[in-house]
């Protein structure tokens, strides 16, 4: 067996390196990949030839990419014997590093030169990986990577610990593999959950594509049935309707196809990451897992953060109305139209006297008129309308409005604010602001109704006592005011209450005023 091959050049892999998308390429192909080397210290963008993902090579070049330690083990399941090349490898010499079939294992133990060598059997793929040649330090080629630097997050050898990692916390790989392996398993479990969701959404998209096509065929049948009653004019009108329907179907299918392609690519990337990580955790040695841990964690984290919609991007709402007026065709008035008007939030308008002002604890409201992209009024309801009314100074103070769908393209929004002040009002249709939204609403304080006898009448009834008080317990602001009867020291006025309300129709308890007093009252009011 020739071993794994590079997906770029189809040749046996030479020093395979692991890309951030978890695909492996040989080092010569990586050096030829993408644009020429840029300035020193600058990252170089490239495209993965397997999944077309846009990647950035490290600033240090291809040599800084982690080696794909399991590239050989993925094609090693049927590896042959290194001595006879006739049988499948069943064991490995830990001293000379040769793969041996069962016959050569026995011969290896019998020969004098190799009788002292330690030969182990390959029971599974993980044993095969652990029994392979040790991973050597790139900085110290004669030393094996047996330790792990927590600060630098990379495997190191003994010489590295004595050198530039002297002050760093280091431990043997076997002691830290459980903690780092558990972190990878948690990421793997999260990615596996996305696999089922992606497959389910993809299935829904495919089913919706069939529903759109089925619905389009059904509408086409309706259109054909309706058009049989006419001759040339109706046939031409029918063809025009079918063309509109085809365009609509293509538009919806294009949206679904685009979503399908994006979901398929995400599913493929997610499956690649999951399969690679599963194989790494199942077949990789402790050091091999730690070598690939960084890039695997980064890739799985990136894939898990990709946002995708769990619903099809288009629906099958395509309807044909045979009674809709469609204008003239070949001199004949024709009927029948495809109803697919889409509301345009930017063209929807707000109307009403209580749009910008309201009174505390009083029911107020305004009307929303929905229009389509052509500015025409929609004759139907059912749109997703959301209204929020929030106090500008009191963040925890909000008014809960009521939205009533009239079924004719208009919506009545009613509300009753409990606190006075400035409010911010947002009106959204399908998640987008309508024309004029957001806007400011001024809520004025409520009127306080006067209870009892007005102050001026109380003063008259008391015989002119300055200490007289209103029946509600208050006194007149700004001094005493008479009732228009011309009492000494008190100018004429109409009936003011201590709460600031005018009661022009109230009758004074001391009787109606004289004509002279009325004229004095009018002069006072005019001034």
- In a domain, residue 384? The reply is yes
Same domain, 301 and 226: yes
Q: 178-196, pLDDT tens digit by residue?
A: 888 888 888 888 888 888 8
363 in any annotated domain: yes
* Pair 190, 224 in one domain: yes
Same domain flag for 427 and 462: no
Closest CA to 149 of 170, 129, 166: 170
Residue with the bigger pLDDT between 43 and 387: it is 387
Whether 435 and 380 share a structural domain: yes
Contact yes or no for 29/48 (Cβ under 8 A): no
**How far apart, in whole angstroms, are the C-alpha atoms of residue 93 and residue 99?**
7
Residue 373 shares a structural domain with residue 462:
no
Q: Give yes or no: residues 405 and 501 share one domain.
A: no
Residue ending a domain, choose from 409, 444, 479 = 444
CATH code at position 405? 2.60.40.10
**CA separation, residue 215 to residues 204, 211, 337, 462 (Å):** 16, 6, 15, 86
pLDDT band, very low/low/confident/very high, at 516 (cuts 50, 70, 90): very low
Per-residue pLDDT, 518: 45
Nearest to 330 by CA among 245, 241, 235, 244: 235
Which of residues 501 and 180 earns the better pLDDT score? 180
Q: Rounded distance, CA 436 to CA 427, Å?
A: 9
62 and 27 housed in the same domain:
yes
For residues 200-214, give the mean pLDDT. 92
pLDDT tens per residue across span 263-297: 999 999 999 999 999 999 999 899 989 999 999 99
d(CA 316, CA 329): 28
The answer to whether 170 touches 146, Cβ cutoff 8 Å, is no
Confidence of residue 39 (pLDDT cuts 50, 70, 90): low
Whether residue 343 is predicted with pLDDT greater than 70 in this model: the reply is yes
Structural domain for 218, as ranges: 175-305
Number of domains in the chain: 5
Which CATH number goes with the domain that contains 68? 3.30.40.10
87 and 27, same structural domain?
Answer: no
**In terms of domains, do 86 and 14 share one?**
no
- Helix ranges (DSSP H) in 332-478: 455-461
Is 526's pLDDT higher than 50?
Answer: no
Q: Would you say residue 430 lies in a domain?
A: yes
- Structural domain contains residue 333: no
Listed range (26-30, 185-189, 221-225, 332-336) with the worst mean pLDDT:
26-30
> Is residue 478 over pLDDT 60?
no
Residues 290, 181, single domain; the answer is yes
* Residue 40 belongs to some domain of the structure: no
């Amino acid at each position: 067996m020739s071993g794994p091959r590079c997906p770029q050049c189809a040749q046996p892999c030479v020093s395979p390196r692991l890309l951030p998308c978890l695909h492996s390429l040989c080092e010569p192909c990586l050096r030829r990949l993408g644009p020429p080397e840029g300035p020193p210290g600058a990252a170089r963008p490239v495209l993965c030839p397997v999944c077309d993902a846009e990647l950035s090579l490290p600033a240090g070049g291809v040599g800084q990419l982690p080696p794909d330690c399991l590239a050989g083990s993925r094609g090693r399941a049927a590896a042959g014997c290194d001595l006879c090349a006739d049988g499948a490898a069943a064991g490995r010499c830990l001293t000379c590093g040769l793969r041996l079939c069962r016959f050569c294992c026995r011969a290896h133990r019998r020969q004098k030169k190799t009788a002292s060598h330690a030969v182990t059997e390959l029971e599974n793929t993980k044993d095969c990986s652990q029994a392979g040649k040790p991973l050597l330090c790139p900085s110290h080629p004669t030393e094996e990577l047996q330790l792990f630097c927590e600060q630098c997050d990379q495997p190191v050898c003994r010489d590295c610990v004595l050198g530039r990692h002297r002050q760093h916390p280091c431990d043997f790989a076997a002691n830290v593999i459980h903690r780092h392996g558990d972190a990878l398993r948690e990421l793997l479990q999260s990615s596996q959950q996305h696999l089922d969701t992606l497959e389910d959404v993809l299935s829904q998209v495919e089913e919706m594509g069939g529903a759109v096509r089925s619905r389009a065929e059904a509408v086409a049948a309706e259109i054909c049935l309706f058009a049989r009653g006419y001759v040339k004019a109706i046939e031409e009108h029918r063809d025009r309707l079918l063309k509109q329907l085809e365009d609509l179907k293509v538009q919806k299918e294009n949206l679904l196809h685009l979503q399908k392609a994006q979901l398929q690519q995400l599913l493929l990337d997610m499956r690649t990451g999951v399969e690679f990580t599963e194989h790494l955790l199942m077949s990789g040695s402790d050091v091999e897992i730690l070598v690939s841990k960084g890039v695997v964690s980064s890739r799985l984290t990136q894939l898990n953060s990709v946002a995708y919609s769990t619903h099809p991007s288009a629906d099958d709402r395509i309807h044909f109305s045979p009674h809709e007026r469609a204008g003239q065709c070949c001199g004949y008035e024709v009927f029948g139209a495809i109803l697919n008007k889409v509301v345009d939030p930017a063209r929807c308008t707000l109307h009403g006297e209580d749009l910008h002002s309201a009174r505390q604890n009083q029911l107020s409201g305004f009307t929303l008129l929905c229009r389509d992209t052509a500015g025409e009024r929609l004759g139907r309801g059912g749109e997703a309308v959301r209204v929020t009314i929030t106090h500008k100074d009191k963040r925890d103070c909000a008014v809960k409005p009521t939205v009533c769908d009239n079924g004719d393209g208009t919506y009545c929004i009613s509300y009753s604010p409990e606190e006075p002040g400035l409010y911010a009002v947002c009106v959204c249709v399908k998640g987008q602001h309508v024309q004029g939204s957001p806007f400011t609403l001024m809520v004025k304080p409520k009127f306080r109704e006067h209870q009892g006898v007005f102050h001026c009448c109380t003063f008259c009834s008391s015989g002119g006592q300055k200490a007289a008080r209103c029946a509600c317990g208050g006194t007149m602001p700004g001094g005493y005011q008479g009732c228009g009867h011309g009492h000494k020291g008190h100018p004429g006025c109409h009936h003011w209450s201590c709460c600031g309300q005018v009661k022009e129709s109230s009758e004074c308890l001391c009787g109606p005023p004289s004509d002279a007093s009325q004229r004095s009252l009018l002069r006072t009011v005019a001034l």
